[in-house]
């Protein structure tokens, strides 16, 4: 497995490859959820590249950036194990040489859910992802549905900018307790980690009611919140039911919808979601 620190060295290798390539963009601290993403990419039968880059541009708080877990040696080992062809793990100055002026964004979709409290976050995501698409010239790129808003925004960017690649959606992977796998989980205390399972329990409660025919968003959110109370104390950033395409709030569900949430356990911000499809 190749490990590239320099974009230029990656590009020399890239030119030696046959055209198609699968890309799994990550911020490292790889867990079983990333592993599943990578497995799906490798199964595509075209060479798979994993990028590992903790993107400063998408962090709102420098503390969150500093505390973002880094486990590079283990990440490389996992990639090698799973049959990855090459890892691109550049330094920040490789991705953002000085001076750096350009950015891209997907308006409207970036204003709801996480975008409401994380101004500039998705501009950072879009900018680095566009760069990674261009650097790797990938034909397929794999994104997890845990970050559903990110996924939707990138799908829209690909469509709007006529980017020549396809985005593959990969389902959220969970602990046996239901907690969605996240690199940030390692920053939870054991006790917080137990309580945080309430988030998925709440989402499941709503999904059950939805299956029974409940279509009123207020009722579904109320039921989810009641279930989540069992995991207090935590701070709910948002709990919303939105249209899967527009990410705009729905009061009544008669189209593919998403119940999504963000919550702080201590300093750690967790997100999760469940699809509600009539």
Catalytic residues: 34
Min CB(39)–its own copies separation in Å: 27
**93 Cβ contact list (under 8 Å, min separation 6):** none
Give whole-number Cα distances, 173 to 14, 147, 150, 257, in Å.
30, 12, 16, 20
**Is 92 among the residues that bind its own copies (CB under 8 A)?**
no
Please work out, in degrees rounded to the nearest 5, the angle formed at the alpha carbon of residue 34 by the alpha carbons of 202 and 150: 65
20's tokens: 């198609």
- Taking CB under 8 A as the binding criterion, the range among 48-56, 97-105, 176-184, 253-261 that sits at the site for its own copies is 97-105
- Of 176, 203, 170, 211, nearest to 270 by C-alpha is 203
* Least Cβ distance, residue 242 to its own copies (angstroms): 15
With respect to its own copies, which residue has the nearer C-beta, 136 or 185? 136
* Residue 23 and residue 51 in contact, taking contact as beta carbons nearer than 8 Å: yes
d(CA 78, CA 41): 14
CB-CB contact of 75 with 1 (8 Å): no
Structure tokens of 165? 């690649």
Nearest approach, Cβ of 128 to its own copies (angstroms)? 10
If the CB atoms of residues 104 and 151 are measured against its own copies, the closer one turns out to be 104
Strand partners for 143: 169
Minimum gap (Å) between residue 133 Cβ and its own copies: 9
157 touching its own copies, by CB under 8 A: yes
Q: From the CB of 126, what's the least distance to its own copies, in Å?
A: 8
Distance CA 237, CA 119 (A): 14
Q: In terms of CB distance, is 152 or 195 closer to its own copies?
A: 152
Stretch 136-155: interaction string toward its own copies, x if CB under 8 A: -x------------------
> 203 or 247: whose CB is closer to its own copies?
247
User: Are 37 and 75 in contact, with CB atoms under 8 Å apart?
Assistant: no
Q: Provide the token pair at 174.
A: 């969970």
Check binding of 106 to its own copies (CB under 8 A).
Answer: yes
* Residue number, 87 or 220, with CB nearest to its own copies: 87
Task: Work out whether 21 is an interface residue with its own copies (CB under 8 A).
Answer: no
Report if residue 166 touches its own copies, rule: CB under 8 A: no
| Residues at the contact surface with its own copies, assessed by CB under 8 A | 7, 99-109, 126, 130-131, 134-135, 137, 156-157, 160-164, 246
């Amino acid at each position: 497995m190749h490990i590239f620190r320099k974009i230029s060295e990656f590009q020399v290798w890239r030119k030696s490859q046959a055209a198609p390539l699968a890309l799994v963009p990550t911020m490292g601290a790889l867990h079983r959820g990333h592993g599943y993403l990578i497995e799906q990419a490798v199964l595509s039968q075209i060479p798979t590249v994993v990028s590992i880059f903790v993107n400063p541009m998408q962090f709102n708080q420098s503390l969150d950036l500093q505390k973002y877990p880094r486990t590079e040696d283990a990440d490389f080992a996992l990639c090698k194990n799973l049959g990855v062809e090459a890892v691109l793990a550049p330094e920040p100055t490789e991705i953002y040489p000085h001076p750096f002026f350009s950015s891209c964004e997907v308006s409207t979709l970036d204003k709801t859910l996480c975008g409401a409290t994380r101004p500039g976050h998705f501009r950072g995501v879009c900018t680095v992802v566009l760069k990674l698409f261009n650097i790797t010239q990938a034909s397929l790129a794999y994104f997890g549905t845990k970050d559903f808003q990110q996924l939707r925004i990138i799908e829209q960017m690909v469509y709007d900018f006529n980017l020549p690649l396809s985005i593959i959606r990969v389902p959220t992977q969970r602990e046996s307790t239901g907690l969605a796998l996240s690199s940030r989980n390692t920053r939870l205390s054991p006790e917080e980690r137990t309580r945080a399972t309430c988030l998925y329990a709440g989402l499941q409660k709503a999904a059950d009611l939805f299956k029974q025919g409940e279509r009123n968003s207020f009722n579904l959110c109320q039921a989810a919140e009641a279930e989540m109370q069992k995991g207090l104390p935590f701070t709910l950033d948002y709990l919303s039911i939105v249209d899967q395409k527009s990410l705009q709030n729905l009061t009544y569900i008669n189209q593919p919808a998403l119940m999504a949430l963000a919550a702080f356990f201590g300093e750690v911000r967790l997100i999760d979601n469940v699809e509600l499809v009539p």
